[in-house]
Structure 1
Amino acid sequence: MTLGFSVNALLPRARGGGQLRMGLNRLSEGEWLQLDPDLFARAQGFVDWPEGVQISPEADAPGRELTAMLGVEGALPEAALACHEDMCLLTKAPDDDQYRLIGAAVAWPSDWHPKEKIGLPLRALHAPIAGYEDQLATGVDRFMETLKPGAIYGRCNWFIAATGDRRWLAAGGLQEQFAHVTAENAGDALFVRSERQTLRRLPQTGAILFTIGIYVEPLKALNATNLESLAEAVGTLVRGESARRGVGAYAEALIGYADVQER
């Protein structure tokens, strides 16, 4: 099973709960990026949120290598404008022990600000994720070190949001965000957000490209199997991760909605 390009196709490949894992899938070149991007939506996304582009000088050469691979002109921002996916570049300096974020072109973030992350090493980038340091950091570092040019890997995740907008910058406290959600309206009021992420090393510069394809659907759009799995998953997230995702603010409504749909 490969990684699809919709919430229903991605959810079966996403971690439900429990211990963190990378959950990587090997992808072919044809499976790398979405083939039919909405370029108007991409352009509008960056117009509406220009701070999503954060570029350091080190990102220029790999950004130009990337656009050449894609057959467009420019650097990292132009690459992200030509694709459905947001794009980030990471490199490791000879005197450094971690990969750092050197460039980001992000129109549709999942509640993060590139201007706060640019220049940070991987472990600091993932610091808000409960369990990352203990369960995943060493494995991610090893993967980044050994990733070969030509190989493409993908993974996916899920979040529950109170908005169907592709740019998700949560406002207010968690209880406030989900205060309007009940088991009766959860199908329309809760939105499942999945990131289809890929990683590959650029052959000339050696930079690692991290792409993030955003897919959002209302809870009611899930098929029965995915809805059942998601309802089970909200109760199995590791402590801390559950709080970060706001599970306590919507779990009762989501599970109640799923129970009704199962009957």
Structure 2
Amino acid sequence: MKQIRPPHRPFADGPPQFQPGLQRIEMNDWLLPDTEKQIALAAKTELFASSLGEVFQQTAGSEPGQREVRTMVEQAVGQTCQMNGEPDLLAASRLVSDDLCLMEKPEEEWILSAASLAAPTHFSLANTIGKSLRGMHRPVPDGAPGLSSKITMMFDRIPPGSVFERFNWTIQANAARFMPDAASMREQAAKTPIALADEMLHLRVERQTILRLAETGGVLFCIRICIDRLCDLDQTVLQQLIQAWNAANAEVRAYKKWSVFEPFMAQFAKNHQL
């Protein structure tokens, strides 16, 4: 059966928002169906082999939480990890397209205690492992203390075993999944002729899920990346996307660093009569 792309369309609700905006979902809908598994697992395997230190980090004492993560993922997808001496969270991440980030609260603040992050969106794992939510969200508009305080309160209140979902989206210059720094992509866009807008422009959608671990008390934050070339999307989807793009305010556009894409999106809209 042909997949409907993109599988998630948060832009249908308007521009990106810097608010938690969580919706509760059923456990059966947490990790399955995994629409990105085929392409994502191949990319993960390559990165784990070539650049493990860039895509996996753990802190001392995170092992119990990692074991619970592995158990939860195994149960959700109906598969068993092949451990091979790997940390539990790393082994679990090989079963799903999602990146897995374990948040724990050893004292007063939630910290990133372990993570497998093979498809980061402008996010460096090496610079954030062991940091608190406050430190991680400082660059976001209203992120310190506004957003981090809201997320802290949300993490504190999530019932054990409950799963919540939210989405984010942006535009990028190619189909790259591993994107810790957007600088190279902006450089690529700056060197690309506007006439090649159709070939260059891609939509990047993040599906984020949050699960409270019942045994160890941590929070598992999962990120599934869906990437599609704009030219491959149908007209209705493109109309929704262009409307959301045009409705984004200056703060959103500045944070997303969209200025380099403005002429390309205008040309794309003209090409497709949007």
TM-score by length of structure 2 reads 0.83
1:75 is the counterpart of 2:88: yes
Distance change >3 Å, CA 29–CA 88, structure 1 → 2: same
Distance change >3 Å, CA 171–CA 20, structure 1 → 2: closer
Unaligned runs of 5+ in 2: 75-79
Distance change >3 Å, CA 68–CA 10, structure 1 → 2: same
CA drift of 1:258 comes to: 1.8
Q: What one-letter code is carried by the residue in structure 2 that aligns with 1:65? A: E
Task: Name the SS of the counterpart of 1:17 in structure 2.
Answer: coil
Task: Name the SS of the counterpart of 1:196 in structure 2.
Answer: strand
Match of 2:168 in 1: 157
Farther off after superposition, 164-173 or 61-70: 164-173
Match of 2:67 in 1: 64
| Percent identity over paired residues | 27
Distance change >3 Å, CA 128–CA 235, structure 1 → 2: farther
Name the count of aligned residue pairs. Answer: 257
Q: 2:50 aligned to 29, 48, 51, which one?
A: 48
1:136 is the counterpart of 2:139: no
CA distance in 1, matches of 2:60, 2:155: 21
CA distance in 1, matches of 2:32, 2:180: 24
Q: Is the 2:137–2:147 Cα contact (8 Å) retained in structure 1?
A: no
Distance change >3 Å, CA 259–CA 21, structure 1 → 2: farther
CA drift of 1:190 comes to: 1.2
CA drift of 1:77 comes to: 0.7
CA drift of 1:182 comes to: 5.1
Distance change >3 Å, CA 20–CA 108, structure 1 → 2: closer
Task: Name the SS of the counterpart of 1:149 in structure 2.
Answer: coil
CA drift of 1:171 comes to: 5.7
Deviations 1:122-169 (A, max 9, x none): 122111222333653333222111001121011111121112121124
Match of 1:10 in 2: 8
1:79-228 residue pairs with structure 2 within 5 A?
79-94=92-107, 96=108, 98-133=109-144, 136-170=147-181, 172=183, 176-181=187-192, 184-228=195-239
Distance change >3 Å, CA 68–CA 117, structure 1 → 2: same
CA distance in 1, matches of 2:130, 2:175: 30
Task: Name the SS of the counterpart of 1:188 in structure 2.
Answer: helix
CA drift of 1:248 comes to: 1.2
Calculate the aligned-residue CA RMSD, in Å. 2.5
Distance change >3 Å, CA 47–CA 185, structure 1 → 2: same
CA distance in 1, matches of 2:12, 2:57: 28
Farther off after superposition, 84-93 or 241-250: 241-250
CA distance in 1, matches of 2:11, 2:22: 9
Q: Is the 2:101–2:221 Cα contact (8 Å) retained in structure 1?
A: yes
Deviations 1:195-215 (A, max 9, x none): 111001111000100001111
Distance change >3 Å, CA 238–CA 61, structure 1 → 2: farther
Match of 2:77 in 1: none
Task: Name the SS of the counterpart of 1:262 in structure 2.
Answer: coil
Q: What one-letter code is carried by the residue in structure 2 that aligns with 1:192? A: L
Q: Is the 1:26–1:154 Cα contact (8 Å) retained in structure 2?
A: yes
Unaligned runs of 5+ in 1: none
Q: What one-letter code is carried by the residue in structure 2 that aligns with 1:109? A: P
CA distance in 2, matches of 1:198, 1:176: 31
